[in-house]
Structure 1
Amino acid sequence: MKKEWWKEAVVYQIYPRSFKDSDGDGIGDIPGIISKLDYLEALGIDVVWLSPHFDSPNADNGYDIRDYRKVMKEFGTIEDFDTLLNGLHERGIKLIIDLVINHSSDEHKWFQESMASKESPYRDYYIWKPGKEGNPPNNWTSFFGGSAWEKAGPDGEYYLHYFAKKQPDLNWENPKLRAEVYDLMRFWLDKGVDGFRMDVIALISKPTDFKDMDVEGLKHPEYTYAYGPRLNEFLKEMNKEVLSNYDVMTVGEAYGGNAEKTLEITDERNNEIDLAFWFDAVRVGRDNFKQNDWTLPEFKKLVKTQSDVSYHNWPTFFLSNHDNPRAVSKFGDDTPEYRIPSAKLLAMLLLTQRGTAFLYQGDEIGMTNYPFTSFDQFDDVEIKGNYDKIIANGESPESYLEDLNKMARDHARTPMQWSDQKQAGFTSGNTTWLGINPNFKAINVEHNLSDSNSIFHFYRKILDIRKNNDNLIYGDYNDIAINHPEIFAYTRTGKNKTYLVVLNMSRSTVDFKINKQYKGYNLVISNLTEELQTIDSQTIKLQPWEARLYVSN
C-alpha cells in the first residue's frame, strides 16, 4: 500500500464562528483561532480543517459564498488568514479549507448577472428553467424545505437550489463555470493551503433534462440528486487541471450514494479525489429528521463496511462534525457519571480505526449536546426551513423538539468552552451568536489542561501512540466480536505487531471472553487505570465504559 501523509494524519475540524472570538462581538473569528495555535499544537493533531471562512451573507453560516477570494468580514481579513496559515505551518500543522462549489450565494456577482437577463454571459453559470403550467419545472424539494426551484429575474424563469433559496446551484455543464472554479482553487493552493474538504461534492453533476422528472414521495432527495451522470468526468478534469499539480489532500462530502459509487470516486487509479466521508456509521439510527434507537452490532457492521475498502481506496473515520450531534451524546454516555470515561473510550475508538481520523472541536474535552427547550434557541436554517413540513406530516412540535435534542446540527455549533468564566471564555462580549451550553463551568478546556487525567490529555496520549505507528495506521482491521451487544473489540494487524482494542460501550460490567491467541498481550493504555496488565486468561473483566488497548509481544 502506498504511504501518503494524509493517510497518516489526524484532522481537527474548526467551525470558526464557534471556536474563539477575539473582538467581543460574540462571533468566533480568525484572530481568535490564531490565539489558540499553541493549544492545537499541544493536542498533537496534524491537520486543521477550517469550515468556510469566505465572504458570505450567512444564510447558511458561510456555506453561501458571496466572494470566493475574500474573507468574511466577521472573521477578519485576508492578512489574518495568511497569519493563520503561516502560524499553523510553523507548528508543523497543515491546513485544508472548505470548497463549496455546488452552489454560491445569490449575492455572488455571477448570480446577480445571471439573473439580470437571458443574454447575460453569466446566465448559464446557474440552472434556469421555465415553469410548467404556472408551477416550478418539477416537484423536487430543497434539503432545507420547500421547492428546490425559485422564480427570479425579469424573465420569470426558475433557478435550481438544492439547499436554501439564497444558495443557487452552479451549472457544472458550463465549461466556463468549471474554469472559474479551477482558478479559485489555484488561488488558495498558491497561498499554501494543503487541500480541500469538498462540500456536497456528489451533487455537482445534475440531470441534463428536468422535464417530466417529478418524483413520487421524495423523502430522501439525496438519493435522487447525488452522483449525477458526469460526476466522475468533472472530478477527473478537476484533478488533471488543478489537484495533480500540488501535494494536497482532498476529502469529499459524498452523502447520498452507495458504497460502490463512493469507492469509485476515491479509487487512486481513477485520479479523482483522495478520500470521502461515509455517513452510514455516524448517522446510525437516523431516518431523515428522526434519531431512532440503534444497537452496537448495527454500528459495528457499518464501521466494518467502511474499513474493508480495497487496496486502492483509503477510508475516513469520524464520530461528529458541524452537521451532527456531539459524539459523547450519541455514541457515549453524557451523564455526569460516565461522560469522562465514555469520551475517552471514543477517543480510543476514533484514533485506532483504519483510515484518516477526523476530530471535531470540543470533542477533545467531552462537550455535550445543548439542552434546547424552545425553537427560538436554534440558528440552523435547516430546522427553520423544515418546520412546516414536519408539522404537516403529523409530527407535533413537542416530538420534533425531542428529536432535535438528539440530532440537531446546532449541538455541535455552540461556542467552544474555554473556561468556567463569563461566556465560557469564548468572548469578552455579553452575547454570543448561539447559546453557550450551561454545563461550561464543569466542562471546559482550562479544567482539562490542569487535570492530567482529563479527556484532553487522554487524546494526547492516544495521538502519541498512533503517530508514526505503521501497524496501527496501515494495519488490517478485524472485528472479533461483531455481534456482541456491549463490546466493540477489534484488532489492527501490521507487519510486526498486532494491536487489540477492547471497548465496553455500556453501563454494565462485562466479562468478555476472547481467543487464547491474545494471551500474553500487554496493556498499552486504558481509560480507567494506569496499571500495566497482561492478558493472562481468556476472560477480560471490563468496567462500564472501559477502554483498553493491548499490543502483541
Structure 2
Amino acid sequence: MANETLPKWWKEATVYQIYPASFKDSNGDGLGDIPGISSKLDYIRDLGVNVIWICPFYKSPQYDMGYDIADYQDVHAPYGSKADVDALIAGTHARGMKIIFDLVVNHTSHEHAWFQESRRSRDSPKRDWYMWRPAKVVDGKRVPPNNWRSNFGGSVWEWDEPTQEYYLHYFAVQQPDLNWENPVVRKAVYATAVNYWLDKGVDGFRIDTVNMYSKFLDFPDAAVVDPSTPWQPADKYYSNGPRLHEFLKEMHRECFSKYDVVSIGECPNTPNFKDVLPFVSTQEKELDMVIQFDLASLDHGGGELRLWRRDWKLHLFKAITEDAQILAIPEHDAWCTTYLENHDQARSVSRFGSDAPQFRVQSAKMLATYLLTLSGTPIVYQGEELGMVNMPRSWDVEKEYKDLNTVDYMRELRRIAGDDKDMLEKGIYSAQMTARDHSRTPMQWDSSPNAGFTTAKQTWMRVNDSFTEINAAAQEQDGSSVLAFYRTLLKLRHTYKQLFIYGSFELSEPDNEDTMTFIKRHEEDNALVLLNFTKDDQPFVVPSRFKGRPELLISNLPTAQKHVLRPYEARIYINHDAKTMTNGV
C-alpha cells in the first residue's frame, strides 16, 4: 500500500499537447509533421512542461484527422517516417522530458486490414473482430438494429451491401467499432497498438474514448427526444458498459504494469466522481487519471445539435472544478487532470475569458492561473500558452471550417432550421464559438506569412488572422506576455509543489457569479487564488480560513488594488511564513 501512494513522475508533470497537422511544417508542404515537432523541442522544454502528448500520427485516410487508424505501427506519410518518430522519442528524452502518444482502440479505420478482412464475408475469421448485426424489418422495410445517433450524425449502424449486415460505428462511418468481447481482438490490440510503442520507449498514452470498449450488447433503443429524426442521442449507452472495468484491468496487467508509464483515459458521460473513482483508484489498477468532459462541455448544448451554444454560469464552473479536485485528496488514493483546451475544444480565452483586445492578455493569464494552481496534472494545448483565440466571426463556416464534426453539424442545422433564418444564424454563431476547428488552426510562431508555420503559400487550414499580434516570437521578447506568464507560473508550481500539485482544494463563495476564490493547503501552509471572470472591477475579501498573513506571490497586472480585483485580474497570495518549497521542507 505505501509504495502505491508514493509520488509518481506523472503526478508532477505538466503535459503539452501537440496536434501534428497544425504545429510546425518542416518541408514546406503546408502540413505540420513529425520533424517539425522535433525542431521545436527546445521551445517546449523552455516553457517548463515535462511531458508532450502527440495526437495521432499513424497511417490513416484522415477522415477524422488521424483518429481513424489504418495501421497502428506505421506513420501517415505526409507526417514523416518511423525513423522520424524514433528521433522524436530520442530528442524528447534527451531534453529530460517524457513523451506519450494517443491510443485509439475503440475503433479503427475502415481501411485497416482487420476490417477489410472482417467485411470480406460472414465466414471471415475476423468477422467477429467488429460489431456486426442483422437488419430489423419494420413495416416491411430494412432498418438498423436500433435508433442510436452517431457522434457525428446519422445512425451508428452502416449497411454493408455485400454481406447484408450492419456494422457499428459510434463515430464516423469510416470508424467501425472493434469487438472488445473477443479476447483475440484484445490481445491483438495490446500487441500491435500498445506494447509495440512502449517497447520503443514511449512513456504512456492518452487513451481515446477509454470507457466505450464494453458495449450494451442488447442495443436497446434510446428515448426519443427529437421526433424530427429517427436517430436519437444515446450517451448513456455509449459509455461504461458491463465489462468495461474487466477490460481495463486486463489492459493494465498486460501492458502498463510492465513499464514505468502513465495512462490517461478520455472518459465522457461520467460526471459523478464516485463513478470516476474506480477508473483511477490506485488499488483498482486500471488507469492513472482520466480526462472528463463536464467543464469542456459547459457551454455546449445537447440533443441533435451538440455544438449548440448555451450560456454558462461561473457557479457551475466552480462546482465542476471542485468535483474533479476531490479525486486528488489522499484518502481516495487517486489522481486527476485539469485542462481548458484540447484538439476537441474551442479556445478557452474566447469561451471563458475575453478575446476583446483590451482584455485578451489578462484573461489568458487569469485562465492560466486557474489551470496551473489546481492539484493534479494540468494539460496545456499548443498555442494556449500564447493566448491564441478563436477564428474571427467574419470567416465563412462552410468554407473555412474543416472538421468532420462541424460539417455534420452544419448539415443537421440546415435540415432542422429549414427556412428559419434566426435559427440558422444562431446555429452558425454556435459553431463560431464552440467548434473543434478553432483549436486546429496552425500554430502562430511569428508574424511572417502563414505565421512561420510553413514556407508554403497554402496551408492545410487557414492561419488565424490574429497571428500578427499573437505569436511566439513577439512574446519571447516581451516579459509581460502570456508566454512569459506561463513560464513563471510553471516555475512557481514546482517551487511550491506541495501546495499547487499536491495541496488540498477549498472553494470559497461557491455562488459568486463574478469571481472565483479558493485556498490551496498543505499542512500549515496555504495559498489563496483570486480570479475575476468579468470585465468589471469586483470586490474581494480574504477568507477567514486563510491562515497567516497573506503575501502577494504573483498577479497578472503590474499593480494590485486593495480589496478590488480589476477586469480579469488574477492574484496568488501565500502565507508569509510558508515553508512548502520544492524539497518539501
* TM-score bin, normalised by smaller chain: over 0.9
Give the C-alpha shift of residue 67 in structure 1: 0.3
Of 206, 214, 224, 1:197 maps to 206
CA distance in 1, matches of 2:349, 2:427: 22
1:278 alignment counterpart: 292
2:508 alignment counterpart: 480
8 Å contact from structure 2 (residues 158, 168) kept in 1: yes
1:499 alignment counterpart: 527
Of 300, 308, 324, 1:306 maps to 324
2:466 alignment counterpart: 439
8 Å contact from structure 1 (residues 488, 504) kept in 2: yes
1:345 alignment counterpart: 366
Q: Secondary structure at the match of 1:490?
A: strand
8 Å contact from structure 1 (residues 330, 406) kept in 2: yes
Note the alpha carbon deviations across 1:154-195, whole angstroms, 9 max, x for none: 221111011111000000001110000110211000000110
CA distance in 2, matches of 1:511, 1:399: 35
Note the alpha carbon deviations across 1:475-524, whole angstroms, 9 max, x for none: 11001222222111111101342111111111111221223555621111
CA distance in 2, matches of 1:449, 1:387: 39
In structure 1, stretches of 5+ residues that fail to align are: none
**AA of the residue aligned to 1:272:** E
8 Å contact from structure 1 (residues 55, 66) kept in 2: yes
Of 27, 32, 36, 1:32 maps to 36
Of 173, 177, 200, 1:169 maps to 177
Of 409, 412, 424, 2:439 maps to 412
> 1:290-369 alignment to 2 at 5 Å?
290-309=308-327, 311-369=332-390
Note the alpha carbon deviations across 1:245-289, whole angstroms, 9 max, x for none: 111111111011232322221111111111111211222132122
1:470 aligns with 2:523: no
CA distance in 2, matches of 1:22, 1:490: 44
CA distance in 2, matches of 1:258, 1:279: 8
1:54 aligns with 2:58: yes
Give the C-alpha shift of residue 213 in structure 1: 3.6
> 1:212-291 alignment to 2 at 5 Å?
213=221, 215-217=223-225, 219-259=232-272, 260-287=274-301, 288-291=306-309
**AA of the residue aligned to 1:304:** E
Give the C-alpha shift of residue 441 in structure 1: 0.5
Of 513, 526, 539, 2:555 maps to 526
**AA of the residue aligned to 1:165:** V
Q: Secondary structure at the match of 1:32?
A: helix
Of 71, 77, 80, 2:81 maps to 77
CA distance in 1, matches of 2:290, 2:232: 24
2:579 alignment counterpart: none
In structure 2, stretches of 5+ residues that fail to align are: 226-230, 577-585
2:166 alignment counterpart: 158
1:93 alignment counterpart: 97
CA distance in 1, matches of 2:499, 2:407: 47
8 Å contact from structure 1 (residues 487, 504) kept in 2: yes
2:156 alignment counterpart: 148
Note the alpha carbon deviations across 1:195-235, whole angstroms, 9 max, x for none: 0101011111112233x545433654222211111100000
8 Å contact from structure 2 (residues 132, 167) kept in 1: yes
Q: Secondary structure at the match of 1:106?
A: coil
Note the alpha carbon deviations across 1:418-445, whole angstroms, 9 max, x for none: 1110111000001111111111101111
Report the more deviating stretch, 141-150 or 201-210.
201-210
Of 390, 395, 400, 1:377 maps to 400
Q: Secondary structure at the match of 1:255?
A: coil
Of 6, 9, 32, 1:5 maps to 9
CA distance in 2, matches of 1:94, 1:294: 36
8 Å contact from structure 1 (residues 471, 495) kept in 2: no
CA distance in 1, matches of 2:283, 2:49: 29
Q: Secondary structure at the match of 1:262?
A: helix
**AA of the residue aligned to 2:411:** D
CA distance in 1, matches of 2:529, 2:51: 25
Q: Percent identity?
A: 43
CA distance in 1, matches of 2:383, 2:290: 23
8 Å contact from structure 1 (residues 195, 248) kept in 2: yes
1:552 alignment counterpart: 575
8 Å contact from structure 1 (residues 341, 545) kept in 2: yes
1:209 aligns with 2:218: yes
2:538 alignment counterpart: 510
Note the alpha carbon deviations across 1:18-41, whole angstroms, 9 max, x for none: 000111111100011111111001
Q: What CA RMSD, in Å, does the superposition of the two structures yield over aligned residues?
A: 1.6
Q: Secondary structure at the match of 2:263?
A: strand
CA distance in 1, matches of 2:210, 2:521: 33
1:219 to 1:512, Cα distance in 2 relative to 1, 3 A: farther
2:26 alignment counterpart: 22
8 Å contact from structure 1 (residues 471, 496) kept in 2: no
1:180 alignment counterpart: 188
8 Å contact from structure 1 (residues 143, 221) kept in 2: no
8 Å contact from structure 2 (residues 447, 471) kept in 1: yes
**AA of the residue aligned to 2:405:** E
2:583 alignment counterpart: none
8 Å contact from structure 1 (residues 117, 153) kept in 2: no
Of 100, 103, 119, 2:107 maps to 103
Of 427, 431, 441, 2:454 maps to 427
CA distance in 2, matches of 1:11, 1:271: 22
1:261 to 1:515, Cα distance in 2 relative to 1, 3 A: closer
**AA of the residue aligned to 2:542:** I
Alignment: residue pair count: 546
8 Å contact from structure 1 (residues 14, 48) kept in 2: yes
State the TM-score, normalizing by the size of structure 1: 0.96
Report the more deviating stretch, 494-503 or 218-227.
218-227
Q: Secondary structure at the match of 2:199?
A: helix
